[in-house]
Amino acid sequence: MHTDTPVIPYSIVPGITWPALSDTRAVNLLALLQQFDQSQWWPLELLRERQMQQAQRLLLHAGQSSPGYRERLTRVGLPADGRIAAEDWSRVPMLLRAELQAGYAALRSTALPSDHGSVQEDHTSGSTGRPVRFAKTALTDLFWRAFTLRDHLWHGRDFTQRLAVIRACDAGQALPPDGRHYSGWGGATDGIYPTGPASLLNIETDIEQQFDWLLRQDADYLLTYPTNLRALVQLSAQRGVRPTRLREVRTASESLDTDLRALMQSIWNVPLIDMYTTREAGYIALQCPQHAHYHVMAEGVLVEILNADNQACVPGEIGRVVVTVLHNFALPLIRYEIGDYAEVGAPCPCGRGLPVLTRILGRSRNMLTFPDGSRHWPRFGYSGFADIAPIRQLQLVQHSVEEIEARLVVDAALNVEQEVRFTAHLQTALGHPFRIRFTYLDSIPRSANGKYEDVLSLIDVDSVMGNTG
């Protein structure tokens, strides 16, 4: 939804408001955006060429300043100093999540160029609660902000309006009933563009309180996680009331069920814009301004989607997401297997050369395993739930190839007939007559990083997939 309100940066020169003559911080961002405006239309081959050149610079740096990477390169017979030809890229070993967890210290650069700015260490708690440490620089933060702005500009947001955010926060932060309030939208826009106010609420807040808070904010834009959004929309439908000014919802951090878009349109009548980001790798893909699929942020990450034979997937094929973060010289993430799966898309009709991902499918442990050994991400048929029983929350936990535990949060336990009907519904939706047993809970907590996993496989995933990590 494009706005009629122009987006004009702050100007620091007296008497000049438009076009703005901005400060250093702003022009650095805008200079990147100008380049993004150009590169998004480049042919894929040119993007690949430029990515590979930057990836080679990164590998050279890693080989010369990271003991961990030197060892990894030596192990596969590549020059330890990182000077490799582009055609040898596929020989660079993939970095598994477990290897990053275990080898953080050795993988860090010991000689970060000073002009990359200050280093900040951070960690992502991960869905399993096993933290992944990583380091970022002022420069990687600049790219983060630039991609945030690209998303705003792609989707034509009106910066003068109000933004509401419901997401994971530090413990005790942004609690109900008020959450926290800010005068601007955040680091990507503050000081660069004038914006309206923003409000933040901790996602651990009860959904009823969340919805009341959202109504009070009367925001134009909402950012939250897909599962949380679903709960909000369902509650909104039950109450027969919706946030009146809302014009767009953004989602991030979890895989998005395709029916959620339709649900948003039917109940709130607003578009849903999804993003694919991770804390350690930054922006990986943003939703196309004209379509529901995603464009890889090729200017920041080299993304490989690899099949079981470690070959690049073709359009329509699902594979593992392997990311090289092109500008993080503090902790190089080179061919980092992030743990997600994605489906490769055909070139986008919008004309952008940026690679296309049709779906982001989440992690392998969110896949169900079938008796024949096949594995895939299930579709629940959420839309059919309401015909059976008022189910507030659902999580499927696979204990064996035949048995699935359906954890439900409901106002009243399902009666026998409802359980039978719901079992049949799930079996049909999942495509296999799994044994379904029901467990009733008061709530299904989010994982340590605030994300919600609606499918959890307790089967040894890695052994099935042949991975070591």
Partner 1 sequence: MTRIDQQIPRSVVNGIGWPALPDANAAGMLALQQQLAQSQWWSPEIVCTQQQTQLMQVLAHALDTIPAYAQRFQMAGLEPRVPALLEAWLDIPILKRSELRMAGETFMSQRIPPEHGKLSKVQTSGSTGTPITAYGTRVTALFWRAFTLREHLWQCRDLSGRFAAIRPEGTLLPGRGQRAHGWGPATDVVYASGESFTLSSRTDIPTQAAWLQEVRPDYLLSLPSNLIALARHCRERGIALPNLREVRSYGEVAGDELRQLCRAVWGVEVKDMYSAQEVGYMALQCPEHAHYHVMSEGVRLEVLDAAGRQCAPGERIGTASQYADVPGRTSGLSEFSSRALGRYCADPTIAIGADQTYAYRGASGGCAAVDDARREGLRIPITGTSWLSVRHRVACRGKYSALGGRQVRRFYLRSRKYQRHRRMSRILCVWELGGGYGHIAALAPLAQALRVRGHEVTLVLKDLFYAEAILGTTGLDYVQAPVW
Contact positions vs partner 1 (CB under 8 A): 4, 6-9, 12-22, 24, 26-28, 30-39, 41-42, 46, 50-51, 53-54, 57-58, 60-61, 113, 115-116, 139, 142, 153, 299, 327, 329
Angstrom distance (rounded) from CA 24 to CA 382 = 49
Radius of gyration of the chain from its Cα atoms, rounded to whole angstroms: 23
Closest contact distance (angstroms) between CB of 187 and partner 1 is 18
Assess contact for 282 and 300: CB atoms under 8 A.
yes
Closest contact distance (angstroms) between CB of 87 and partner 1 is 19
When the beta carbons of 146 and 174 are compared against partner 1, the nearer one is 146
When the beta carbons of 350 and 461 are compared against partner 1, the nearer one is 350
Contacts of residue 172, Cβ cutoff 8 Å, sequence gap at least 6: none
Closest contact distance (angstroms) between CB of 80 and partner 1 is 18
Q: What are the residues facing 398 on neighbouring strands?
A: 404, 457
Q: What is the largest CA-CA distance in the chain?
A: 74
Write the DSSP assignment of 149-213 as a string of letters.
HHHHHHTT--TTS-EEEEE--STTSS-TTT-EEESSS-TTTTTTS----EEEEETTS-HHHHHHH
Closest contact distance (angstroms) between CB of 19 and partner 1 is 4
Angstrom distance (rounded) from CA 150 to CA 33 = 7
Q: Residue-wise over 241-273: b if at least 16 C-beta within 10 A, else e?
A: ebbeebbbbbbbbbbbbeebbebbeeebebbbb
In eight-state DSSP terms, residue 32 is H
When the beta carbons of 61 and 70 are compared against partner 1, the nearer one is 61
When the beta carbons of 23 and 405 are compared against partner 1, the nearer one is 23
Query: CA 455 from chain center: how many Å?
Result: 17
Contacts of residue 55, Cβ cutoff 8 Å, sequence gap at least 6: 89, 302, 324, 326, 334
Cα dihedral across residues 200, 202, 207, 208: positive or negative:
negative
Closest contact distance (angstroms) between CB of 423 and partner 1 is 53
When the beta carbons of 136 and 230 are compared against partner 1, the nearer one is 136
Torsion angle, CA of 70/75/80/82, rounded to 10 degrees?
Answer: -90
When the beta carbons of 144 and 434 are compared against partner 1, the nearer one is 144
Angstrom distance (rounded) from CA 317 to CA 212 = 42
Q: Angle at which helices 67-75 and 44-65 pack, to 10 degrees?
A: 110
When the beta carbons of 32 and 391 are compared against partner 1, the nearer one is 32
The C-alpha angle 99, 104, 107, rounded to 5 degrees, equals 90
Closest contact distance (angstroms) between CB of 75 and partner 1 is 24
Query: Which residue shows structure tokens 């910066």?
Result: 159
Closest contact distance (angstroms) between CB of 9 and partner 1 is 7
Angstrom distance (rounded) from CA 314 to CA 302 = 16
When the beta carbons of 7 and 100 are compared against partner 1, the nearer one is 7
Closest contact distance (angstroms) between CB of 8 and partner 1 is 7
When the beta carbons of 58 and 164 are compared against partner 1, the nearer one is 58
When the beta carbons of 60 and 267 are compared against partner 1, the nearer one is 60
Q: Pick from 452, 455, 456: which is nearest to 225 by CA? A: 452
Closest contact distance (angstroms) between CB of 49 and partner 1 is 10
Closest contact distance (angstroms) between CB of 418 and partner 1 is 54
When the beta carbons of 18 and 240 are compared against partner 1, the nearer one is 18
Closest contact distance (angstroms) between CB of 326 and partner 1 is 8
Closest contact distance (angstroms) between CB of 61 and partner 1 is 5
When the beta carbons of 114 and 468 are compared against partner 1, the nearer one is 114
> In residues, how long is the chain?
469
